[in-house]
Amino acid sequence: MVFSSIPFLFRFLPVFMILYFVAPRRMRNVILFLGSLFFYAWGEPVYVLLMLFSTLSDYLHGRLIGACKSRRVARGLLISSIVINLGLLGFFKYSDFLIGTVNRLLGSSIPLLKLPLPIGISFYTFQTMSYTIDCYRGEAKIQKNILDFGVFVTMFPQLIAGPIVKYRDVQDQLRQRKADIGAISYGCRRFVAGLAKKVLLANNLGLLWTEISGGNLENTTVLGAWLGVLAYAFQIYFDFSGYSDMAIGLGAIMGFHFPENFNYPYMAKSITDFWRRWHISLSGWFREYVYVPLGGNRRGLPRQLLNILIVWMLTGIWHGAGWNFLLWGLWFALWLILEKLVLGRMFKALPSLVGRLYTWLIVLVSWVFFAIENGPGALRYLSVMFGQGTAGLYDSPTLFILLEYRVLLIFAAIAATPLGHRLTESFFAVTGTGVTVVRRVLEKLVPALLLLASIAYIVEASYNPFLYFRF
């Protein structure tokens, strides 16, 4: 898709921002809505109609729920909204997967629909569903202005890959918001940090993963296999967290406060802790709208474990229509259940380093299922990781690759921890005239250098997609 690349974003943003800030405040929602539609329609000219239908459907359901005096009728309207949303998501995302599965099981030859997946449908569907659910619960104001609701659904900074924003978290900002110099400055810095994560770290780490995973596994050493999946782990983190930073930054520039989506997940001490830090908005969505309504932990341990299993099956297939994604979700469900039963108490008595190493091991294995959609291919890669390959532990080409990428991997490892942030805070806490001057210079210089380096990379690179655009 054309707009799924960074270069299009850079062509779109200056024009949009000029129009947005030049326009009177009462017109800014109009500019944001039309700009967001243009942003989406540039790459999805047909599916923008699908997004508009979803917007209109949930707007009307919200109005009807708000006007309804019968709880039973309101519940029926809520069910109607959920069925329409999940029906659209299921049809466009899972129809070919289901048809293919039926064909394999029954030996039939039902033709596949081969529908292109509407970009971001998993994200904006969950956002609009949160609105009607919260309206039914009485936790969100009924939005009577369809333009304001349209802005909520289509808002381009986080439309494509999150973070998933609940309507009640921005309902007041849709009408009244203020972007002062401090917020704009923070938003710009956050945007540049996310951009640098994406183009300077994620893209280059992706080259390493592609080089190793795309080669002949018969010639891949154990070290090479672990190096490859480590590169993918860093790639997907910096790619997705970079997009979230860019979205949060753009939102801040316009006066919106989007939720944080990552909190150093690779510092987690357990899988439970990992999912409190990774894709926080998705985890929170499933907890609030699926896990808790199913009973959460209120109906005894067996029911709680079943609820965990259901939630993680759904989390897996939310990411993609494939058995590998279901297996990925079940893999995490297994370890979350084990932590509830045994491992959680055990790790509390052990040094935190043990918990972090355990978490890294489980997560790295999970990324193999996630990245390699072919089941046999994923199992073959895992077998090489655990010493079942024929190329040995390491060889000269593997050591050469390690040396070639060593600086990038070290920098990525540091950037994935709070160390850099803590050093920055310590420096900014130091007082003194000379330090203050240097600090002010660095505040301007570092983001500028990162922006220039990112732009230089973008000019050279021909393709800059975000990994999570495919979900």
Q: What is the mean pLDDT of residues 229-249?
A: 94
pLDDT of residue 3: 38
Query: Does the residue 467 lie in any domain?
Result: no
Instruction: Looking at the structure, tell me whether residues 146 and 201 fall in a common domain.
Output: no
Active site residues: 319
pLDDT of residue 146: 94
Instruction: Looking at the structure, tell me whether residues 293 and 357 fall in a common domain.
Output: yes
pTM of the model: 0.91
Instruction: Looking at the structure, tell me whether residues 114 and 213 fall in a common domain.
Output: no
Instruction: Looking at the structure, tell me whether residues 209 and 166 fall in a common domain.
Output: no
| Domain range for 367 | 183-415
pLDDT of residue 2: 36
- Contact assessment for residue 43 and residue 119, using Cβ atoms and an 8 Å cutoff: yes
Instruction: Looking at the structure, tell me whether residues 198 and 173 fall in a common domain.
Output: no
Give dist(CA 314, CA 283) in Å, integer.
11
Instruction: Looking at the structure, tell me whether residues 322 and 352 fall in a common domain.
Output: yes
Q: Could you tell me which of 233, 269, 287 has the C-alpha nearest to residue 343?
A: 269
The three-class DSSP label of residue 116 is coil
For 394-427, give the DSSP string: --HHHHHHHHHHHHHHHHHHHHTSTHHHHHHHHH
Query: Does the residue 102 lie in any domain?
Result: yes
The confidence band for 461, taking pLDDT boundaries of 50, 70 and 90, is: low
pLDDT digits over 134-166, tens only? 999 999 999 999 999 999 999 988 887 779 999
Residues 6+ apart with CB under 8 A from 11: none
351 φ, ψ to 5°? Answer: -60, 150
Instruction: Looking at the structure, tell me whether residues 205 and 120 fall in a common domain.
Output: no
Instruction: State both tokens at 324.
Output: 């590998």
pLDDT digits over 167-179, tens only? 999 999 998 888 7
Q: What is the mean pLDDT of residues 355-378?
A: 93
pLDDT digits over 276-317, tens only? 999 999 999 999 999 999 998 888 899 999 999 999 999 999
Give dist(CA 471, CA 461) in Å, integer.
23
Residue ending a domain, choose from 151, 177, 203: 177
Instruction: Looking at the structure, tell me whether residues 142 and 212 fall in a common domain.
Output: no
- Domains held by the chain: number: 2
